Amino acid sequence: MKNLIFVFVLVFAFQNANAQASWRIANGSSEQVQSGKFYYFQVIKNSWNLKYKERPSGINLGWGKEAIPNIKFEKSGGGKINCGDKIAVFVKNGGYLKYEVRKWGINLGWSKTPVYEWELRTLENKQGTPVMSDLNVGLYNGTTKDFVRHCTRSGVPVVDLGWVIDCPNGWRAPGATNGVVKTLTRKDIDLAIKYGAVLLSLL
């Protein structure tokens, strides 16, 4: 039983560390992220920028190299953003992101007004740590209690995004059920041990 619990802890630690290491807020220099300022929001894996893109299915999001920064993070009252601050996420031409159940793709929708259900998490995952541009961060949703990550999807042409619990290894099969857990490899376990203290709750 203890071994089983340990394996589950390793799975969750690996998933969380992987999610937290999957994004970069970029603007060409290192600074503490400012509420209301536009940035590029990049997937570290391939340096693609998240952007608005019209699609036949799912939320209208896609990838590209933008001429200007197109995503901003807002917290009530403004100012500099720290790990764990409640924020809203705005995508130019789309609106504010919010959790929304939909038939296809990741469960995200648009709002015309800020929805403060998001947090930016540093890799250390310590409450109040400054969130810096050009460093690895995770995008956490307080409604789902999960992180958004790049997730390769096949079948219906939706944006390649997913929740960590649905897409622990970065790929999601068509019709995969929620909560599918991958088989751990030695590399997964080594990563989990390395980031074993980085769990879903803030320190």
Which segments in the chain show pLDDT lower than 70? 1-21, 171-203
What pLDDT is recorded for position 183? 44
Q: What is the pLDDT of residue 21?
A: 66
> By residue range, what is the domain housing residue 98?
10-194
Strands 171-172 and 152-153: parallel
The answer to whether 153 touches 160, Cβ cutoff 8 Å, is: yes
Torsion of the alpha carbons at 126, 182, 188 and 46, rounded to the nearest 10: -70
- Quick one: pLDDT at residue 187? 52
pLDDT recorded at residue 94:
97
Quick check: is 37 in a domain? yes
Its pTM stands at: 0.78
Helix axes 186-194, 2-20, angle to 10 degrees: 80
Dihedrals phi, psi of 133, to nearest 5 degrees: -70, 155
Q: Is residue 30 part of a domain?
A: yes
Instruction: Decide if 1 is inside a domain.
Output: no
In a domain, 2, yes or no: no
| Domain contains 203 | no
pLDDT for res 3: 53
pLDDT at 46: 86
Q: Tabulate helix, strand, coil % of the chain (nearest 5).
A: 15, 30, 55
- The answer as to whether 202 is a domain residue is no
Res 186: pLDDT: 53
Residue 18's pLDDT is 55
In a domain, 45, yes or no: yes
Give the C-alpha separation, 119 to 28, whole Å: 22
Number of domains comprising the chain = 1
Handedness of CA 155, 160, 161, 165 (dihedral sign): positive
**Is 3 inside a domain boundary?**
no
Least Cα distance to 21 among 113, 147, 142 occurs for 147
By percentage, how much of the chain surpasses pLDDT 70? Answer: 73
